């Protein structure tokens, strides 16, 4: 099952890459630009075929893809002078910007559709309930062990287990105070002093029971610890609610992606530490970490709805992150090329104001050192994240 999860993620990743390149390809053809190659992957060619003026193919290394549009910039030679009018650089700025943004746009569309279909077909996950879905067997030594959900022989039994709480119990009151949702119950537990006695009122098989526990504490975690988690309920949404949910989830992932990128420099020192999962380094991952999480989710002993929901949301989140990151105004990213086109038009506007000729295309030779430097920095971060996910993985699936 773990292997199936990896296969699902790799197929989804290749499909995302294909959509990205299709966005560039379709818009370029629509505007009359000449696209000579459309390939998935890099390195040696495994298979290719020619249709018209374009060669389509698959390469050996599935780490991306590319569309070759002639005359992308000032350094790009056009073999046949007759094709120059169809080159990328000879088209209006707005058309070039549309082509450059089309790849990220396809990532965003895919993510939105996945989240929409999830809400419409499987349902929106709701864990704000007092029905117990998990009763921990032990008191974790620290937050890292708590996140992993693992027990060691020397761990003490959890207060929930000692009290006799069971999966499926509906908690109706904590220390005599009624609770209607998990937010209220969780807040009540955390407010209680660690080591203090607590009464938990539950409904089980139509009967009301009052159970007694002595609350514990977990190192690195604030508040008392009981050792319970809510069950997950999936509520199928109507189309309007599904659109609202997709839009809200999209915005949350986008904001979280920006936060993760901003926290990356500070997270680097913790990538290889034992407590990575409880630090900012636990919030960043490579495709290896995402693939591992997909495999773990598929292999987990949970319901199919949770598995499908987790995998779809993970793939959607990855597409949102890649789409947004690709639009950063940094060469060699698409956003960097957009910035170059915008600068060309600003420079041309100033030239007109001063009644001087259009200075034309930006000399990309001057930007090559900058582009190469940024590329090397991105490669450094990418390789570091991959290594961290191999030797010091985080259990993203929980």
Q: Which residues are catalytic?
A: 21
Calpha distance 19→107 (Å, rounded) = 7
Angle between helices 287-299 and 364-391 (to 10 degrees): 40
C-alpha torsion angle, residues 250, 253, 254, 258 (rounded to 10): 180
Query: Locate tokens 């039994």: which residue?
Result: 157
Dist. CA 350–CA 366, nearest whole Å: 21
**Across the chain, where does the E strand assignment appear?**
35-51, 54-69, 124-126, 132-135, 170-174, 177-178, 197-204, 207-214, 228-230, 233-235
H-helix segments, 198-303: 239-267, 287-299
Rounded CA separation 112/94 (Å): 25
Q: State how beta strands 54-69 and 197-204 pair.
A: unpaired
Rounded to whole angstroms, the Cα distance separating 99 from 27 reads 5
Q: How far apart are CA 348 and CA 60, in angstroms?
A: 42
Assess contact for 288 and 305: CB atoms under 8 A: no
Question: Rounded CA gap, 232 and 346, in Å?
Answer: 53
What is the Cα–Cα distance from 9 to 7, expressed in whole angstroms?
5
Is 18 exposed, middle or buried (CB count within 10 Å of its CB: 0-12, 13-18, 19+)?
A: middle
Most distant CA pair in the chain, distance: 87
């Amino acid at each position: 099952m773990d292997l199936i999860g990896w296969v699902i993620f790799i197929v989804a990743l290749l499909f995302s890459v294909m959509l990205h390149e299709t966005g560039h390809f379709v818009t370029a053809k629509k505007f009359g630009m000449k696209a000579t190659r459309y390939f998935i992957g890099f390195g040696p060619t495994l298979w290719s075929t020619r249709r018209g003026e374009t060669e389509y193919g698959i390469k050996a290394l599935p780490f991306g893809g590319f569309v070759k549009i002639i005359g992308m910039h000032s350094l790009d030679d056009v073999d046949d002078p007759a094709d120059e009018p169809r080159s990328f650089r000879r088209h209006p700025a707005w058309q070039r910007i549309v082509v450059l943004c089309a790849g990220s746009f396809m990532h965003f569309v895919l993510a939105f559709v996945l989240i929409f279909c999830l809400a419409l077909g499987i349902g929106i996950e709701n864990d704000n309930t007092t029905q117990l879905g998990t009763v921990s067997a032990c008191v974790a030594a620290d937050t890292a062990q708590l996140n992993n959900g693992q027990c060691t022989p020397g761990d003490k039994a959890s207060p929930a287990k000692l009290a006799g709480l069971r999966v499926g119990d509906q908690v109706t009151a904590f220390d005599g105070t009624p609770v209607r949702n998990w937010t209220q119950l969780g807040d009540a537990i955390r407010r209680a002093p660690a080591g203090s006695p607590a009464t938990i009122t539950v409904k089980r098989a139509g009967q009301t029971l009052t159970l007694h526990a002595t609350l514990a504490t977990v190192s690195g975690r604030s508040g008392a610890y009981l050792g319970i988690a809510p069950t997950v309920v999936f509520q199928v949404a109507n189309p309007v609610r599904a659109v609202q949910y997709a839009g809200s989830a999209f915005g949350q992932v986008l904001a979280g992606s920006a936060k993760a990128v901003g926290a990356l420099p500070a997270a680097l020192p913790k990538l290889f530490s034992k407590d990575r999962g409880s630090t900012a380094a636990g919030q960043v991952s490579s495709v290896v970490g995402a693939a591992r999480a997909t495999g773990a989710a598929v292999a987990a002993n949970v319901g199919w709805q949770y598995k499908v929901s987790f995998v779809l949301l993970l793939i959607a989140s990855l597409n949102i992150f890649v789409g947004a990151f690709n639009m950063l105004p940094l060469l060699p990213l698409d956003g960097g090329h957009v910035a170059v086109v915008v600068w060309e038009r600003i420079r041309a506007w100033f030239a007109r104001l001063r009644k001087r000729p259009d200075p034309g295309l930006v000399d990309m030779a001057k930007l090559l050192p900058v582009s190469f430097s940024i590329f090397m920095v991105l490669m450094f971060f990418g390789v570091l994240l991959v290594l961290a996910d191999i030797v010091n993985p985080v259990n993203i699936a929980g």
